[in-house]
Amino acid sequence: MKDRRTDMNDTEHTLARRVIALLDLTSLNTDDTDASIEALCRKALTPVGPVAAVCVYPQFVSLARRTLDALGGHSIQVATVCNFPDGDAPLDDVLAQTRKALADGANEIDVVYPYRALIAGDEQRGRDLVAACKALCQGRALLKVILETGELNALLIRRASIDAIQAGADFIKTSTGKVKVNATPEAADLMLHIIANYNPQVGFKPAGGMRMLGDATVYLWLAERILGADWISPRHLRFGASSLLDNTLELIGLSAENPAQGAY
């Protein structure tokens, strides 16, 4: 009979595999280089299977795609950010960024919603931006809309979530990771209920502040409670984080620096 420690280890391994398969492994640092992005792509092929995506700045999209393909990581998506991180670039500039990212091979666009305009009372700017980006991404890439929930009250999170969904977002995402307050269970609960009520085909991505396996499982359990276990898949749930992978693998006694060739 298994002892309690073995049972717990099995549970941790199962959770680790689930979370890693839903992870957008992210590097959005001002000092990113070709070498650091190549290293990120190597880490994305973990000992327990590939992550869902790598998320990098637009200038690294083509490099990330080439590197992943050379490593055999064809299933791993390349995500990039537009209108990032402030969310207040002119619409034409955002669309130019998006077109370039798509041309370079981005599979997913994480665009920052113009949350400051919403705070100032302008709801239409966000609707227009999401709709215009969706028109470019339609049939080519997933559109993930970053609401920057740490800067919004509950009423504005609700307004932004509904407007983004109705304008065509494939995902709504909490945060850029560049402000003081990023993903929180309270914002996640609100956003997941809006998805359930308005369009359960829309995905949800908490981002920022998740460093340990337990941090991510809070959002996993929330999503299961609100939308059901069958809803959980990389098409509907992602975790945006940079250090979560290392800490999760360390917890189960593995290392991100030694990917298991062919282990999955």
Residues involved in catalysis: 110, 173, 205
Q: How many other C-beta atoms can be found within 10 angstroms of the C-beta atom of residue 153?
A: 10
Question: What sign does the CA torsion over 79, 80, 83, 84 have?
Answer: positive
Cα–Cα distance measured from residue 213 to residue 244, given in angstroms and rounded to the nearest whole number = 7
* Contacts for 18 with CB less than 8 Å, ≥ 6 apart: 220, 232
Q: How many other C-beta atoms can be found within 10 angstroms of the C-beta atom of residue 260?
A: 12
22: nearest Cα among 247, 237, 258, 244: 237
The DSSP letter of residue 113 is: -
Cα–Cα distance measured from residue 225 to residue 196, given in angstroms and rounded to the nearest whole number = 11
Residue 259: both structure tokens together: 């990917």
